[in-house]
Structure 1
Protein backbone atom coordinates (compact mmCIF):
# COMPACT_ATOMS: atom_id res chain seq x y z
CA UNK A 1 0.00 0.00 0.00
CA UNK A 2 1.28 3.45 -0.89
CA UNK A 3 0.04 6.68 0.63
CA UNK A 4 0.81 10.27 -0.33
CA UNK A 5 0.46 13.55 1.50
CA UNK A 6 -3.10 13.80 0.13
CA UNK A 7 -4.01 10.68 2.16
CA UNK A 8 -2.81 12.08 5.50
CA UNK A 9 -4.96 13.84 8.13
CA UNK A 10 -4.03 17.16 9.74
CA UNK A 11 -5.21 17.85 13.30
CA UNK A 12 -4.35 19.90 16.41
CA UNK A 13 -1.77 18.61 18.87
CA UNK A 14 -3.11 16.89 21.97
CA UNK A 15 -1.94 19.92 24.00
CA UNK A 16 -3.51 22.38 21.52
CA UNK A 17 -0.26 24.30 20.91
CA UNK A 18 0.40 23.20 17.33
CA UNK A 19 -0.68 20.90 14.51
CA UNK A 20 0.26 17.40 13.46
CA UNK A 21 -0.12 15.45 10.22
CA UNK A 22 -1.19 11.87 10.89
CA UNK A 23 0.09 9.43 8.26
CA UNK A 24 -1.06 6.14 9.82
CA UNK A 25 -2.97 5.17 12.94
CA UNK A 26 -4.10 1.93 14.52
CA UNK A 27 -6.37 1.87 17.57
CA UNK A 28 -7.37 -0.94 19.92
CA UNK A 29 -10.00 -1.27 22.66
CA UNK A 30 -7.94 0.95 25.01
CA UNK A 31 -7.11 3.58 22.37
CA UNK A 32 -3.94 4.34 20.41
CA UNK A 33 -1.78 1.31 19.54
CA UNK A 34 0.47 2.63 16.76
CA UNK A 35 0.77 5.95 14.97
CA UNK A 36 3.03 7.65 12.45
CA UNK A 37 2.85 11.42 12.24
CA UNK A 38 4.75 14.58 11.37
CA UNK A 39 4.78 17.86 13.25
CA UNK A 40 6.52 21.23 13.23
CA UNK A 41 8.32 22.49 16.30
CA UNK A 42 8.65 26.25 15.92
CA UNK A 43 9.36 27.37 19.48
CA UNK A 44 10.34 26.12 22.90
CA UNK A 45 7.42 24.48 24.67
CA UNK A 46 5.77 21.49 26.25
CA UNK A 47 5.29 18.23 24.37
CA UNK A 48 1.92 16.50 24.54
CA UNK A 49 1.60 13.65 27.03
CA UNK A 50 0.63 10.19 25.76
CA UNK A 51 0.12 7.81 28.72
CA UNK A 52 1.29 4.24 28.03
CA UNK A 53 2.94 5.23 24.74
CA UNK A 54 6.61 5.10 23.75
CA UNK A 55 7.85 7.50 21.09
CA UNK A 56 10.64 7.74 18.56
CA UNK A 57 11.15 11.20 17.05
CA UNK A 58 13.32 11.86 13.99
CA UNK A 59 14.07 15.42 12.86
CA UNK A 60 13.41 15.67 9.11
CA UNK A 61 14.49 19.28 8.59
CA UNK A 62 15.85 22.13 10.64
CA UNK A 63 18.57 22.48 13.27
CA UNK A 64 17.04 20.15 15.88
CA UNK A 65 16.36 20.90 19.53
CA UNK A 66 16.63 19.46 23.01
CA UNK A 67 14.00 17.56 24.98
CA UNK A 68 14.22 17.93 28.74
CA UNK A 69 12.09 16.64 31.58
CA UNK A 70 12.16 14.49 34.69
CA UNK A 71 15.40 12.53 34.31
CA UNK A 72 15.56 13.11 30.54
CA UNK A 73 17.95 15.37 28.66
CA UNK A 74 17.83 14.30 25.02
CA UNK A 75 19.15 15.91 21.86
CA UNK A 76 16.99 15.60 18.72
CA UNK A 77 19.23 16.09 15.68
CA UNK A 78 18.70 15.83 11.93
CA UNK A 79 17.96 12.24 10.81
CA UNK A 80 18.91 10.68 14.16
CA UNK A 81 16.00 8.74 15.74
CA UNK A 82 15.54 9.62 19.43
CA UNK A 83 13.41 7.38 21.69
CA UNK A 84 11.60 8.55 24.83
CA UNK A 85 8.52 7.70 26.93
CA UNK A 86 5.38 9.56 25.88
CA UNK A 87 4.05 9.79 29.41
CA UNK A 88 6.88 11.87 30.87
CA UNK A 89 6.40 15.66 30.81
CA UNK A 90 8.98 16.96 28.34
CA UNK A 91 9.76 20.38 27.00
CA UNK A 92 11.40 21.32 23.69
CA UNK A 93 14.32 23.67 24.37
CA UNK A 94 16.91 25.38 22.20
CA UNK A 95 14.57 25.77 19.23
CA UNK A 96 16.32 28.36 17.05
CA UNK A 97 14.43 27.79 13.76
CA UNK A 98 11.45 25.70 12.62
CA UNK A 99 11.96 21.94 12.77
CA UNK A 100 9.85 19.32 11.02
CA UNK A 101 9.86 15.93 12.70
CA UNK A 102 8.54 12.41 12.17
CA UNK A 103 7.00 10.61 15.14
CA UNK A 104 6.49 6.92 15.76
CA UNK A 105 4.16 6.23 18.70
CA UNK A 106 3.68 2.70 19.98
CA UNK A 107 1.62 1.32 22.86
CA UNK A 108 4.05 0.13 25.52
CA UNK A 109 2.66 -3.43 25.48
CA UNK A 110 3.71 -3.86 21.82
CA UNK A 111 7.25 -4.76 20.73
CA UNK A 112 9.30 -1.61 20.17
CA UNK A 113 9.65 -0.74 16.48
CA UNK A 114 13.05 -0.29 14.87
CA UNK A 115 13.44 3.17 13.32
CA UNK A 116 16.39 4.01 11.08
CA UNK A 117 17.40 6.19 8.14
CA UNK A 118 18.61 4.41 4.98
CA UNK A 119 19.86 5.63 1.61
CA UNK A 120 19.31 2.82 -0.93
CA UNK A 121 18.89 -0.94 -1.12
CA UNK A 122 16.37 -3.64 -0.38
CA UNK A 123 14.89 -3.97 3.08
CA UNK A 124 12.62 -6.70 4.43
CA UNK A 125 10.10 -6.54 7.24
CA UNK A 126 10.72 -8.77 10.23
CA UNK A 127 8.95 -12.09 10.36
CA UNK A 128 5.33 -11.50 11.43
CA UNK A 129 5.74 -7.73 11.08
CA UNK A 130 5.43 -4.82 8.70
CA UNK A 131 7.74 -2.35 7.07
CA UNK A 132 6.79 1.32 6.82
CA UNK A 133 9.00 3.27 4.39
CA UNK A 134 8.75 7.07 4.51
CA UNK A 135 10.40 8.63 1.45
CA UNK A 136 12.16 11.79 2.63
CA UNK A 137 11.89 13.52 -0.77
CA UNK A 138 8.24 12.87 -1.68
CA UNK A 139 6.97 12.34 1.89
CA UNK A 140 5.11 9.29 0.59
CA UNK A 141 4.58 6.27 2.83
CA UNK A 142 4.80 2.65 1.66
CA UNK A 143 3.47 -0.10 3.92
CA UNK A 144 4.51 -3.66 3.14
CA UNK A 145 4.79 -7.17 4.52
CA UNK A 146 7.19 -8.01 1.66
CA UNK A 147 10.71 -6.69 0.91
CA UNK A 148 10.88 -3.13 -0.41
CA UNK A 149 13.64 -1.58 -2.51
CA UNK A 150 14.52 1.96 -1.44
CA UNK A 151 16.00 4.19 -4.16
CA UNK A 152 16.69 7.30 -2.11
CA UNK A 153 16.92 8.61 1.45
CA UNK A 154 14.11 7.10 3.50
CA UNK A 155 13.05 6.53 7.06
CA UNK A 156 12.32 2.86 7.84
CA UNK A 157 9.99 1.78 10.61
CA UNK A 158 10.07 -2.00 11.18
CA UNK A 159 7.34 -3.41 13.37
CA UNK A 160 7.09 -6.87 14.90
CA UNK A 161 3.33 -6.91 15.41
Structure 2
Protein backbone atom coordinates (compact mmCIF):
# COMPACT_ATOMS: atom_id res chain seq x y z
CA UNK A 1 0.00 0.00 0.00
CA UNK A 2 1.57 3.31 -1.08
CA UNK A 3 0.81 6.35 1.04
CA UNK A 4 1.91 9.93 1.40
CA UNK A 5 2.08 11.10 4.98
CA UNK A 6 2.28 14.87 5.52
CA UNK A 7 2.65 16.67 8.84
CA UNK A 8 2.21 20.34 9.79
CA UNK A 9 5.92 20.83 9.05
CA UNK A 10 5.13 20.15 5.36
CA UNK A 11 2.31 22.67 5.07
CA UNK A 12 2.67 26.19 3.66
CA UNK A 13 1.00 29.46 4.67
CA UNK A 14 -0.44 31.72 1.99
CA UNK A 15 -2.34 35.04 2.08
CA UNK A 16 -6.03 35.04 1.22
CA UNK A 17 -6.85 36.21 -2.26
CA UNK A 18 -8.90 39.07 -0.76
CA UNK A 19 -6.10 40.05 1.64
CA UNK A 20 -8.17 39.56 4.81
CA UNK A 21 -6.37 36.55 6.27
CA UNK A 22 -4.10 33.58 5.68
CA UNK A 23 -4.57 29.98 4.65
CA UNK A 24 -2.44 26.96 5.47
CA UNK A 25 -2.22 24.83 2.33
CA UNK A 26 -1.97 21.11 3.04
CA UNK A 27 -2.01 19.55 -0.43
CA UNK A 28 -2.46 20.72 -4.01
CA UNK A 29 -2.91 18.83 -7.28
CA UNK A 30 -2.75 20.59 -10.64
CA UNK A 31 -2.99 19.26 -14.19
CA UNK A 32 -1.67 21.24 -17.16
CA UNK A 33 -1.53 24.34 -15.00
CA UNK A 34 -5.15 24.06 -13.82
CA UNK A 35 -6.21 23.41 -10.24
CA UNK A 36 -7.70 19.94 -9.72
CA UNK A 37 -7.70 19.75 -5.92
CA UNK A 38 -6.58 21.90 -3.02
CA UNK A 39 -6.82 20.99 0.66
CA UNK A 40 -6.27 23.78 3.14
CA UNK A 41 -7.08 25.12 6.56
CA UNK A 42 -7.97 28.67 7.58
CA UNK A 43 -9.21 30.67 10.55
CA UNK A 44 -12.29 32.87 10.41
CA UNK A 45 -11.85 35.41 13.20
CA UNK A 46 -14.37 38.11 12.31
CA UNK A 47 -17.25 38.93 10.00
CA UNK A 48 -16.07 39.65 6.47
CA UNK A 49 -15.95 38.56 2.82
CA UNK A 50 -14.77 35.21 1.51
CA UNK A 51 -12.48 35.11 -1.52
CA UNK A 52 -14.08 34.38 -4.90
CA UNK A 53 -12.69 31.46 -6.95
CA UNK A 54 -14.25 31.20 -10.44
CA UNK A 55 -14.29 27.67 -11.86
CA UNK A 56 -13.94 26.10 -8.42
CA UNK A 57 -16.34 24.15 -6.19
CA UNK A 58 -15.82 24.43 -2.45
CA UNK A 59 -16.47 22.29 0.60
CA UNK A 60 -15.90 23.64 4.11
CA UNK A 61 -15.94 21.95 7.51
CA UNK A 62 -15.61 23.89 10.76
CA UNK A 63 -13.11 22.03 12.96
CA UNK A 64 -12.99 24.22 16.07
CA UNK A 65 -15.00 27.18 17.29
CA UNK A 66 -18.72 27.98 17.13
CA UNK A 67 -19.03 28.30 13.35
CA UNK A 68 -20.56 31.15 11.37
CA UNK A 69 -23.10 32.02 8.69
CA UNK A 70 -22.31 32.47 4.98
CA UNK A 71 -24.58 34.67 2.85
CA UNK A 72 -24.45 35.96 -0.70
CA UNK A 73 -26.71 36.18 -3.74
CA UNK A 74 -29.31 33.43 -3.17
CA UNK A 75 -27.20 31.50 -0.63
CA UNK A 76 -27.69 31.67 3.14
CA UNK A 77 -26.52 28.84 5.40
CA UNK A 78 -24.79 28.07 8.69
CA UNK A 79 -21.37 26.44 8.92
CA UNK A 80 -21.68 24.27 12.01
CA UNK A 81 -18.84 22.36 13.71
CA UNK A 82 -17.93 19.07 11.98
CA UNK A 83 -20.71 19.38 9.37
CA UNK A 84 -19.31 19.63 5.81
CA UNK A 85 -21.06 22.18 3.58
CA UNK A 86 -20.53 22.69 -0.15
CA UNK A 87 -20.97 25.83 -2.22
CA UNK A 88 -19.75 27.33 -5.52
CA UNK A 89 -16.47 29.21 -5.41
CA UNK A 90 -17.58 31.86 -7.90
CA UNK A 91 -20.22 33.37 -5.58
CA UNK A 92 -19.26 36.36 -3.42
CA UNK A 93 -20.06 35.25 0.14
CA UNK A 94 -19.76 37.09 3.44
CA UNK A 95 -19.16 35.43 6.81
CA UNK A 96 -21.41 36.76 9.57
CA UNK A 97 -22.40 35.76 13.12
CA UNK A 98 -18.81 34.99 14.10
CA UNK A 99 -19.66 36.49 17.52
CA UNK A 100 -16.06 37.60 17.99
CA UNK A 101 -14.85 34.00 18.28
CA UNK A 102 -12.37 32.22 16.02
CA UNK A 103 -13.50 29.23 13.97
CA UNK A 104 -10.89 27.05 12.25
CA UNK A 105 -12.08 25.32 9.11
CA UNK A 106 -10.91 22.64 6.66
CA UNK A 107 -11.37 23.56 3.01
CA UNK A 108 -11.60 21.43 -0.12
CA UNK A 109 -11.45 23.10 -3.53
CA UNK A 110 -11.99 21.14 -6.74
CA UNK A 111 -12.31 22.03 -10.41
CA UNK A 112 -15.93 22.71 -11.36
CA UNK A 113 -15.92 20.04 -14.08
CA UNK A 114 -15.30 17.23 -11.61
CA UNK A 115 -17.92 15.37 -9.59
CA UNK A 116 -18.22 16.98 -6.18
CA UNK A 117 -15.93 15.30 -3.66
CA UNK A 118 -17.36 13.38 -0.76
CA UNK A 119 -16.22 14.87 2.56
CA UNK A 120 -17.13 12.99 5.73
CA UNK A 121 -16.02 11.96 9.21
CA UNK A 122 -14.75 8.39 9.58
CA UNK A 123 -13.62 6.32 12.54
CA UNK A 124 -12.82 2.61 12.89
CA UNK A 125 -13.78 1.87 9.30
CA UNK A 126 -12.37 0.74 5.94
CA UNK A 127 -12.46 3.55 3.39
CA UNK A 128 -12.42 3.19 -0.40
CA UNK A 129 -10.34 5.72 -2.32
CA UNK A 130 -12.16 6.64 -5.52
CA UNK A 131 -9.35 8.24 -7.53
CA UNK A 132 -7.97 9.88 -4.38
CA UNK A 133 -8.51 9.57 -0.65
CA UNK A 134 -7.18 12.19 1.76
CA UNK A 135 -7.47 11.70 5.53
CA UNK A 136 -7.02 14.64 7.90
CA UNK A 137 -6.49 13.39 11.46
CA UNK A 138 -8.45 15.22 14.15
CA UNK A 139 -6.41 13.46 16.82
CA UNK A 140 -3.98 10.55 17.20
CA UNK A 141 -5.14 7.52 15.21
CA UNK A 142 -3.98 4.75 12.88
CA UNK A 143 -4.59 4.76 9.13
CA UNK A 144 -3.15 2.39 6.56
CA UNK A 145 -0.88 0.91 9.19
CA UNK A 146 0.66 4.31 10.00
CA UNK A 147 0.38 6.35 13.19
CA UNK A 148 -1.09 9.79 12.54
CA UNK A 149 -0.78 12.68 14.96
CA UNK A 150 -3.33 15.46 15.26
CA UNK A 151 -3.62 17.43 11.99
CA UNK A 152 -1.47 15.02 9.96
CA UNK A 153 -2.67 14.35 6.41
CA UNK A 154 -2.58 11.01 4.60
CA UNK A 155 -3.08 10.94 0.81
CA UNK A 156 -3.48 7.70 -1.13
CA UNK A 157 -5.19 6.00 -4.06
CA UNK A 158 -5.73 2.74 -2.16
CA UNK A 159 -8.31 1.61 0.38
CA UNK A 160 -7.36 2.35 3.99
CA UNK A 161 -8.43 1.01 7.38
CA UNK A 162 -8.81 3.75 10.03
CA UNK A 163 -8.70 2.86 13.73
CA UNK A 164 -8.35 4.72 17.01
CA UNK A 165 -10.10 7.00 19.47
CA UNK A 166 -10.15 10.01 17.10
CA UNK A 167 -11.87 10.34 13.73
CA UNK A 168 -10.41 11.55 10.47
CA UNK A 169 -12.00 14.02 8.10
CA UNK A 170 -11.97 12.13 4.81
CA UNK A 171 -12.05 13.60 1.30
CA UNK A 172 -12.89 11.15 -1.49
CA UNK A 173 -12.42 12.41 -5.05
CA UNK A 174 -13.51 10.62 -8.24
CA UNK A 175 -13.90 11.48 -11.91
CA UNK A 176 -10.31 12.36 -12.78
CA UNK A 177 -9.25 11.92 -16.40
CA UNK A 178 -6.69 9.12 -16.95
CA UNK A 179 -3.76 11.50 -17.49
CA UNK A 180 -4.71 13.49 -14.39
CA UNK A 181 -4.88 10.21 -12.45
CA UNK A 182 -1.36 9.41 -13.62
CA UNK A 183 -0.20 12.83 -12.46
CA UNK A 184 -1.79 12.20 -9.07
CA UNK A 185 -0.02 8.84 -8.77
CA UNK A 186 3.28 10.47 -9.69
CA UNK A 187 2.75 13.17 -7.04
CA UNK A 188 2.08 10.52 -4.42
CA UNK A 189 4.76 8.06 -5.50
CA UNK A 190 7.40 10.67 -6.27
CA UNK A 191 7.31 12.35 -2.88
CA UNK A 192 10.22 11.88 -0.52
CA UNK A 193 7.86 11.16 2.38
CA UNK A 194 6.07 8.34 0.56
CA UNK A 195 6.48 4.85 1.87
CA UNK A 196 4.83 1.47 1.97
CA UNK A 197 2.94 0.70 5.16
CA UNK A 198 5.23 -0.81 7.75
CA UNK A 199 8.47 0.82 6.55
CA UNK A 200 10.41 3.43 8.47
CA UNK A 201 9.61 7.07 7.79
CA UNK A 202 12.41 9.22 6.34
CA UNK A 203 12.93 12.84 7.36
CA UNK A 204 10.13 15.13 6.21
CA UNK A 205 10.71 17.27 3.12
CA UNK A 206 8.82 20.42 2.11
CA UNK A 207 5.75 19.84 0.00
CA UNK A 208 6.60 20.87 -3.61
TM over 0.5, shorter chain: yes
Name the SS of the counterpart of 1:95 in structure 2.
Answer: coil
Aligned to 2:9, the other structure's residue is in SS state helix
1:62 maps to 65
Task: Please tell me whether residue 148 in structure 1 is matched to residue 152 in structure 2.
Answer: no
Cα deviations by residue, 1:89-131 (Å, 9 ceiling, x for unpaired)? 00000002100000000010112110011222211112xx111
Bigger fraction of residues in helix: 2
Separation (CA, whole Å) in 1 of partners of 2:134 and 2:85: 17
Report the equivalent of 1:139.
151
Runs of 5+ in structure 1 lacking a partner? none
Distance in 2 separating the partners of 1:37 and 1:72: 23
| 1:31 Cα offset (Å) | 3.0
User: Which residue matches 1:26?
Assistant: 29
Query: 1:79 aligns to what SS in structure 2?
Result: coil
TM-score by length of 2: 0.74
Deviation at 1:148, TM superposition (A): 1.2
Instruction: Provide the aligned length of Structure 1 versus Structure 2.
Output: 159
Aligned residue number for residue 198 of structure 2 = none
CA distance in 2 between counterparts of 1:32 and 1:20 reads 16
- Of the three residues 165, 169, 173, the one matched with 1:159 is 173
Which protein has the bigger strand share? 1
How well do the aligned residues superpose, as a CA RMSD in angstroms?
A: 1.0
CA shift for structure 1 position 30: 5.2
- Structure 1 equivalent of residue 111 of structure 2: 107
> Counterpart in 2 of 1:119?
123
Larger radius of gyration: 2
Q: Matched residues in 2 for 1:50 and 1:150: separation?
A: 33
